[in-house]
């Protein structure tokens, strides 16, 4: 240990810890603290009144339910995409692998306009559902699609390295012992990728909750129907209602923190359970 510290490339612990705390304070802690401080100017009564209006409650329901649905969809199909990219060789694999990262590189406004164009009633996909009476763009369904689009890379890129490091011999051993494909997946593969899959779900959910640019163009922004909470925050900022905007931001932050904490506790429980079994 002393030899490692002597030849360490980076500076000592005290200096690096100081830089870490300074960086986190400037980027995370101070802005979040300012949000809470600004909210306190409303008082508890004013804060509660702002975050419990019918319009705001409707935006909460849409924002969090759509984020959860988008993250859940990405958990299933993101696992399939990661599995295909890791386990199979085919023509155009590198192109598909690069397309997965497209939501990272594409500006959110461009993504929103593209999705609204494609899924509108006259769009390439929307016109296929229009005769069935299914409207996608400018509805809550459009919000779910937008949040699914921006969250896919988080699941794929989280699960993909775990699948690459997974020992195929374990699957072969399970098959030699008479296990079916489903049993092999549930008993051998799934416990190994479960923590990464849950992490990808949490990242996709957190990203979806705060998404704005790709949603407002396809949502329609109809009050009480397809209006997301980030849009209400922007609206209050445009009205110079900074205290009201920070109140909404604080409420979303608290709810998101509780949900992410629950996911992390579930992940910790799953890891401990898996380690005890092994």
Over residues 79-83, mean pLDDT? 94
Which of these, 170, 190, 160, 158, lies nearest to 88 by C-alpha position?
160
Do residues 227 and 171 both lie within one domain?
Answer: yes
Do residues 11 and 84 both lie within one domain?
Answer: no
- Angle (CA) 230-236-237 rounded to 5° is 90
Do residues 35 and 47 both lie within one domain?
Answer: no
Structure tokens at 222: 């109809």
Q: Alpha-carbon distance 91 to 226, whole Å?
A: 41
Helix residue ranges, H only, the chain: 2-6, 13-24, 30-40, 43-51, 54-87, 93-100, 102-105, 108-119, 126-129, 140-165, 168-176, 181-184, 190-209, 213-219, 229-238, 242-277
Do residues 127 and 9 both lie within one domain?
Answer: no
- Domain of 264, CATH number, reads 1.10.3720.10
Do residues 268 and 145 both lie within one domain?
Answer: yes
Do residues 142 and 224 both lie within one domain?
Answer: yes
CA separation, residue 264 to residues 174, 202, 260, 267, 269 (Å): 30, 8, 6, 5, 9
Q: What is the pLDDT of residues 192-239, one digit of tens each?
A: 888 889 889 988 998 899 888 889 999 888 888 889 999 999 999 888
Q: Alpha-carbon distance 209 to 222, whole Å?
A: 18
pTM, 2 dp: 0.84
Q: Alpha-carbon distance 166 to 168, whole Å?
A: 6
Do residues 122 and 27 both lie within one domain?
Answer: no
Quickly tell me which residue has 């925050």 as its tokens.
233
Do residues 18 and 95 both lie within one domain?
Answer: no
Any idea how long the chain is?
278
- Cβ of 157: how many Cβ atoms within 10 Å? 17
Confidence of residue 37 (pLDDT cuts 50, 70, 90): confident
Q: 264 and 202 in contact (C-beta within 8 Å)?
A: yes
Do residues 33 and 168 both lie within one domain?
Answer: no
Do residues 32 and 135 both lie within one domain?
Answer: no
Range of the domain at 176: 43-277
> Domain total for the chain?
2
Q: Alpha-carbon distance 161 to 155, whole Å?
A: 11
Predicted local distance difference test score (pLDDT) of residue 186: 84
At 137, which helix (H) or strand (E)?
none
The DSSP string of 84-118 is: HHHH---TTHHHHHHHHTHHHHS-HHHHHHHHHHH
Over residues 138-163, mean pLDDT? 93
Q: What is the pLDDT of residues 112-140, one digit of tens each?
A: 999 999 999 888 999 999 888 899 999 99
Do residues 6 and 52 both lie within one domain?
Answer: no
Predicted local distance difference test score (pLDDT) of residue 1: 47
Confidence of residue 275 (pLDDT cuts 50, 70, 90): low
Q: 204 and 75 in contact (C-beta within 8 Å)?
A: yes
Residues 6+ apart with CB under 8 A from 30: none
Do residues 100 and 235 both lie within one domain?
Answer: yes
């Amino acid at each position: 240990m002393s030899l490692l510290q002597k030849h360490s490339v980076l500076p000592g612990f005290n200096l690096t810890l100081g830089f870490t705390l300074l960086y986190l304070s400037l980027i995370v802690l101070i802005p979040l603290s300012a949000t809470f401080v600004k909210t306190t100017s409303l008082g508890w009564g004013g804060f509660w009144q702002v975050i419990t209006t019918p319009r705001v409650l409707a935006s909460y329901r849409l924002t969090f339910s759509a984020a959860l649905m988008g993250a859940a969809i990405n958990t299933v199909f993101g696992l399939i995409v990661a599995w295909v990219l890791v386990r199979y060789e085919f023509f155009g694999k590198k192109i598909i692998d690069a397309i997965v990262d497209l939501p990272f590189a594409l500006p959110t406004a461009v993504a929103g306009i593209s999705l609204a164009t494609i899924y509108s009633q006259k769009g390439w996909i929307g016109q296929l559902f229009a005769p069935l009476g299914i409207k996608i763009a400018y509805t809550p369904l459009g919000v779910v699609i937008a949040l699914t689009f921006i969250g896919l890379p988080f699941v794929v890129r989280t699960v993909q390295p775990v699948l690459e490091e997974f020992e195929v011999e374990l699957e072969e051993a399970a098959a030699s012992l008479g296990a079916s494909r489903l049993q092999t997946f549930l008993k051998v593969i799934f416990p190994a990728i479960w923590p990464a899959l849950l992490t990808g779900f949490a990242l996709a959910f957190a990203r979806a909750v705060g998404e704005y640019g790709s949603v407002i163009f396809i949502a329609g922004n109809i009050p009480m129907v397809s209006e997301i909470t980030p849009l209400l925050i922007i609206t209050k900022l445009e009205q110079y209602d900074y205290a009201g905007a920070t109140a909404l931001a604080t409420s979303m932050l608290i709810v998101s923190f509780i949900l992410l904490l629950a996911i992390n506790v579930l992940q910790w429980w799953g890891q401990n359970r898996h380690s005890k079994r092994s």
